[in-house]
Structure 1
Amino acid sequence: MSDRGLPDPATLEADAPAYYRRTGPTTFRPTLRAQGAWQPGEQHMAALTGLLTSAVLQHEPGPELQPARLTFEILGLIPALETTVTVRTLRPGRTIELVGADAEVAGRPVVRARVWRLATVDTAEVAGGAGAPLPAPQELPPADPSRYWPGGFIASLDVRAERAPGEGRNRAWLRARPALVADEEVADLARLMGLVDAANGLGCRVDPRRWMFPNTDLTVHLHRLPTGDRLGLDTEQVVGPTGLGLTSSVLHDRHGPVGRAEQVLTVRRLPAATG
């Protein structure tokens, strides 16, 4: 164990079929597939986002209520250790409901999620305005983000992308090769929300070998539920002059746009890249 509470990555299960293995009713053990990119003993926020989303969807489910906004606050380093996920209804309602989900590691909160669920009605008659779909996955070339990013999570992805990272804009399709939780079926929304956080690395405008730009949050707004196993990203990144940045993405499935995602960044030069 490091002095920052991060485990030796050699202790993580390699070649696992999933990002997590369930160890109890509310506990999960991350595998090497969930390994983060910034620290080798850390969980990737994307994988944990999927796990929290799955927990929310299983909490008092009702087809009449649909997730509309999902916000994830990152409270610090996320060690790749057994993780406890708890869910509760914060604001019950028949048409508007707020659900909270929290992830803890070693008794310390690491991510706090809040999900607004809204009642569904038939608005097909007036639906529109979402914008054009992305090029189909087969129309974009295969990409290997492991050339720029370390970590088991990044290595687990099937990626097709228009550009290499570093230009500040990208269009890409992602698919997770492993399951989210071993031997468990999860909803398409949970599987795809487990990919959104990767937008920050695919659409970056600075070299991740010289700069750090971790996000402190992830907020997703949806106008319809995504389906399938591929997430499309139309992403751009802005870096301001005082160490703050913003990664903004339009999210797609094969049928077109489904919503938007925003990530606030803290940008700083890596110590080895100074001078």
Structure 2
Amino acid sequence: MGQPSFFTESNGRFDPTRFSLSLWGPRTLNGPAVCAIAARTAEITGSADGFRPVRFTIDLFRAAREEPTATTATVLRDGGRVRVVEVDVLQHLDDEEPVRVARSTTVFLRESVNPDGERWSRESTDFDPPSVPEDDYYPRFAADATTAADGTPVDAIAWTSDLAALQGPGRKRHWTHPLPVVAGEPPSPFLRAVIAAESTSLMGNWGTTGIALINCDLTVALSRLPRGVRVGVESDFHVEDDGISVSECILYDVDGPVGTGLVTAVNNAKAEIDFTSVKPEDRMKQT
């Protein structure tokens, strides 16, 4: 098998590959794939000299299915310093009225120079990503030491590809090589950031029994685009009440932080993903 990707493209339609499939339910697409196809269309539509994509927000209206998918784009604003592109992700394409499964808004800002003065910024020395072979797309995970609810100490987990080992209460981080959105088309730095950032929900909502809250959105904010093919996602904030959670992550590369990912999520315990019994590595095999 060749290089993995989320979709293959033909005549404006995108056919999902096995790498786009979700663990939440049969024949459903995962969040990174849906976000990726929307971000790709936004970048193609909104790119212009001197402009950089800085904020991507997507609302996930319903589960996307394993079927041909399309996107439509609308330029909402085309100003001297701000460009805004809206993208719809559509399925049931042969119906009289296709179904919108997601809608995104991407903001592009014109680059210039930093203003004078000093301001606090997140240190770039806090991150220590692992060394992973260039052609290895399987993600690595790690977790901080913490204390369980009953007071029992919980050891830190060093970088590993074993998801079952991470099923605990510690703060988690993710070092990933985002897949191409479309076969034969290397992802841009912006697409890498969006695809990686969708793991904000996983990093924030993954606890001792698995992940039982599913995100209905994603917002990615970027000060700069990531360098290199890998992007890190580190949990930085999480709260939950009444079956609703908010999670925020730091996005980083080999040189330090680049921005944040933010999601809201809702209780989906009836379809909880328990990584001690589910083996996503079978789906992620590259051969």
Which category describes the TM-score, using the shorter chain as reference length? 0.7 to 0.9
Cα separation, 2, equivalents of 1:138 and 1:181:
27
Does the CA contact (< 8 Å) of 2:57 and 2:217 recur in 1?
Answer: yes
TM-score, normalised via structure 1 length: 0.79
Does the CA contact (< 8 Å) of 2:212 and 2:272 recur in 1?
Answer: no
Cα separation, 2, equivalents of 1:43 and 1:196:
16
Name the counterpart of 1:11. Answer: none
Cα separation, 2, equivalents of 1:167 and 1:104:
37
Question: Which has the higher mean CA deviation after the structures are superposed, 188-197 or 73-82?
Answer: 188-197
- The alpha carbon displacement at 1:215 in A equals 0.5
Q: Does the C-alpha gap of structure 1 residues 213 and 181 become closer, same or farther in structure 2, counting only changes over 3 Å?
A: same
Name the counterpart of 2:150. Answer: none
Does the CA contact (< 8 Å) of 2:24 and 2:271 recur in 1?
Answer: no
- Indicate the SS of the match to 1:36: coil
Cα separation, 1, equivalents of 2:87 and 2:216:
17
Q: Structure 1: which amino acid aligns with 2:139?
A: D
RMSD: 2.8
Q: Structure 1: which amino acid aligns with 2:11?
A: G
Name the counterpart of 2:103. Answer: 112
Q: Structure 2: which amino acid aligns with 1:120?
A: E
Name the counterpart of 2:243. Answer: 243
Residue correspondence of structure 1 range 193-212 to structure 2 within 5 A:
193-207=194-208, 209=210, 212=212
Spell out structure 1 runs of 4+ moving beyond 6 A: none
Residue correspondence of structure 1 range 36-185 to structure 2 within 5 A:
36-106=22-92, 107-123=98-114, 129-133=120-124, 134-138=126-130, 157-162=138-143, 163=157, 164-167=166-169, 169-176=171-178, 178-185=179-186
Question: Which has the higher mean CA deviation after the structures are superposed, 106-115 or 62-71?
Answer: 62-71
- The alpha carbon displacement at 1:84 in A equals 0.3
- The alpha carbon displacement at 1:180 in A equals 2.3
Q: Structure 1: which amino acid aligns with 2:39?
A: T
Q: Does the C-alpha gap of structure 1 residues 156 and 212 become closer, same or farther in structure 2, counting only changes over 3 Å?
A: farther
Cα separation, 1, equivalents of 2:137 and 2:91:
23
The number of aligned residues is 244
Cα separation, 1, equivalents of 2:236 and 2:116:
32
Cα separation, 2, equivalents of 1:232 and 1:112:
25
Given the alignment of the two structures, is residue 220 of structure 1 paired with residue 220 of structure 2, yes or no? yes
Name the counterpart of 1:22. Answer: 9
Q: Does the C-alpha gap of structure 1 residues 221 and 60 become closer, same or farther in structure 2, counting only changes over 3 Å?
A: closer
Cα separation, 2, equivalents of 1:127 and 1:105:
48
Question: Which has the higher mean CA deviation after the structures are superposed, 254-263 or 47-56?
Answer: 47-56
Q: Does the C-alpha gap of structure 1 residues 229 and 129 become closer, same or farther in structure 2, counting only changes over 3 Å?
A: farther
Q: Deviations over 1:142-161 (max 9, x none)?
A: 9xxxxxxxxxxxx9632142
Name the counterpart of 2:280. Answer: none
Cα separation, 1, equivalents of 2:139 and 2:28:
21
Does the CA contact (< 8 Å) of 1:189 and 1:227 recur in 2?
Answer: no
Does the CA contact (< 8 Å) of 1:16 and 1:31 recur in 2?
Answer: no
Name the counterpart of 1:254. Answer: 254
Percent identical pairs in the alignment equals: 22
Question: Which has the higher mean CA deviation after the structures are superposed, 99-108 or 165-174?
Answer: 165-174
Q: Does the C-alpha gap of structure 1 residues 40 and 97 become closer, same or farther in structure 2, counting only changes over 3 Å?
A: same
Question: Which has the higher mean CA deviation after the structures are superposed, 47-56 or 241-250?
Answer: 47-56
- Indicate the SS of the match to 2:201: helix
Residue correspondence of structure 1 range 258-269 to structure 2 within 5 A:
258-269=258-269
